[in-house]
């Protein structure tokens, strides 16, 4: 760790030299890249310097031990310096953990009804509202890019684009199976039903296209939109279906009157899905024997249960149960997202310790 920290300290000095040059602003892309790298490195190097100062204080206090008049003060300062060093070392370990390159990206959040018929579709609508309310609390912007309504007012499938700083980092652990237990509004006998939905959180690909899609590898079909949508429905072929032939990924968009806009949206979702698939394949290859409880994002894995009669929400990955289902369904996800992120960080630290 010491060697890595020294490298980062030297790199920060090198970046500062480059940023101070008169011609630094000529290449704005490079300037932006250096500024971003500096912002990432500086907090680590600052803590590293604080560790060195605490180390120097410790050595100074140890030298005073030989003086009987200063021994009590020296021992007190040694204790304080060691405590600071321990605290800073924990911080440095956390700061040196590998960062997810997608953390600051915008996302596409997909909610799909699963088992449970109409109740599943209604719960998909409730989940979508929950995430939209959470985004609102974070001061993010949302755009419903695709929807397939169910018969009773919920959704068979809905895709929302969420734009905001750190959107992926806060919501990436929401991917997976969400189960609900409640008495449906249509249930005359008052029996509790269990149904499920799946959620997928996809990082949005950069406009500069890190995902290259070969036009010869996609099939684009246009058709008339169906369902609610105004006078244009079934009159113009504005709906678009894109099939990526190598992966079999299919994306449909029919919510805009413009075929061009539907096509543009579908291509963005396709790029996000391809990038997500590649990320998962890479993670599978890199995975060690350690079971990653939080970050798998397996769509088939049941991650959370919402039990309305008992007023509780349970996240099965971290054995966390919160008795505030109304607040959570209204978008108060902060405690859940923070606990999941903390557990993931603990897993990374444990893996780092094993590898050391």
Q: Is the pLDDT of residue 159 over 90?
A: yes
> How far is 278 from 251, CA to CA, in rounded Å?
17
Q: Is the pLDDT of residue 342 over 60?
A: yes
> How far is 238 from 222, CA to CA, in rounded Å?
7
Q: Is the pLDDT of residue 229 over 50?
A: no
170 — pLDDT class (breaks 50, 70, 90): very high
The closest of 153, 47, 155, 39 to 93, measured between CA atoms, is 47
Which range has highest mean pLDDT (98-102, 184-188, 305-309)? 305-309
Angle (CA) 252 258 260, round 5°: 70
348 — pLDDT class (breaks 50, 70, 90): confident
> How far is 141 from 144, CA to CA, in rounded Å?
10
* 31-90 pLDDT, tens digit each: 888 988 898 899 999 999 999 999 999 999 999 988 888 989 999 999 999 999 999 988
Please tell me the predicted confidence (pLDDT) of residue 233. Answer: 46
Query: Which residues, including other chains, have CB under 8 Å from residue 349's CB and lie 6 or more apart?
Result: 93, 94, 97
Domains and CATH numbers, the chain: 2-95 (1.20.58), 107-287+297-346 (3.30.70.1660)
Please tell me the predicted confidence (pLDDT) of residue 181. Answer: 94
Q: Are 194 and 148 in contact (CB under 8 A)?
A: no
Give CA 94 to chain center in angstroms: 18
> How far is 309 from 279, CA to CA, in rounded Å?
38
| 131 to 30, 47, 108, 154, 255: CA distances (angstroms) | 36, 36, 12, 15, 20
Largest CA distance in the chain: 96
> How far is 303 from 177, CA to CA, in rounded Å?
6
Two structure tokens written together for 309: 């009669």
Burial pattern 80-109, b for ≥16 Cβ within 10 A else e, equals ebeebbeebeebbeebbeeeeebeebbbbb
> How far is 354 from 356, CA to CA, in rounded Å?
6
Q: What is the DSSP letter of 214?
A: -
* 235-290 pLDDT, tens digit each: 567 889 999 999 999 998 887 778 888 898 899 999 999 988 888 777 676 554 44
> How far is 14 from 231, CA to CA, in rounded Å?
62
pTM over 0.75: no
230 — pLDDT class (breaks 50, 70, 90): very low
Across the range 189-205, mean pLDDT stands at 90
> How far is 309 from 181, CA to CA, in rounded Å?
8
Please tell me the predicted confidence (pLDDT) of residue 77. Answer: 93
> How far is 126 from 304, CA to CA, in rounded Å?
14
């Amino acid at each position: 760790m010491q060697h890595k920290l020294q490298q980062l300290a030297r790199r920060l000095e090198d970046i500062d030299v480059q940023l101070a040059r008169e011609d630094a602003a000529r290449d704005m892309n490079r300037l932006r890249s250096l500024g971003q790298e500096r912002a990432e490195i500086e907090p680590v190097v600052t803590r590293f310097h604080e560790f060195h100062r605490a180390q120097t204080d410790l050595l100074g206090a140890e030298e005073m031990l030989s003086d009987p008049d200063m021994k009590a003060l020296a021992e007190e300062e040694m204790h304080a310096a060691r405590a600071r060093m321990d605290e800073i070392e924990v911080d440095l370990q956390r700061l040196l953990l590998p960062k997810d390159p997608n953390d600051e990206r915008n996302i596409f959040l997909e909610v799909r009804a699963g088992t449970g018929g109409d109740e599943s579709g209604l719960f998909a609508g409730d989940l979508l509202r929950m995430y939209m309310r959470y985004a609102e609390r974070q001061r993010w912007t949302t755009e419903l890019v695709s929807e397939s309504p169910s018969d009773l007012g919920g959704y068979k499938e809905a895709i929302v684009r969420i734009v905001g700083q750190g959107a992926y980092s806060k919501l990436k652990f929401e991917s997976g199976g969400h189960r609900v237990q409640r008495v449906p509004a249509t249930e005359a006998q008052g029996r509790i039903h269990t149904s499920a939905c799946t959620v997928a959180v996809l990082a949005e690909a950069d406009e500069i296209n890190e995902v290259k899609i070969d036009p010869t590898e996609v099939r684009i079909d246009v058709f008339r939109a169906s369902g609610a949508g105004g006078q244009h429905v079934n009159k113009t072929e504005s709906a678009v279906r894109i099939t990526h032939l190598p992966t079999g990924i299919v994306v449909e968009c029919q919510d805009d009157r413009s075929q061009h806009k539907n096509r543009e949206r579908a291509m963005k979702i396709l790029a996000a899905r391809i990038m997500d698939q590649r990320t998962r394949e890479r993670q599978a290859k890199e995975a060690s024997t350690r079971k990653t409880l939080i970050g798998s994002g397996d769509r088939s894995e049941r991650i959370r249960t919402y039990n309305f009669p008992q007023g509780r929400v349970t996240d099965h990955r971290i054995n966390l149960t919160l008795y505030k289902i109304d607040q959570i369904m209204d978008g108060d996800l902060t405690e859940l997202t923070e606990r999941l992120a903390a557990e993931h960080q603990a897993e990374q630290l444990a893996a780092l310790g094993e590898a050391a």
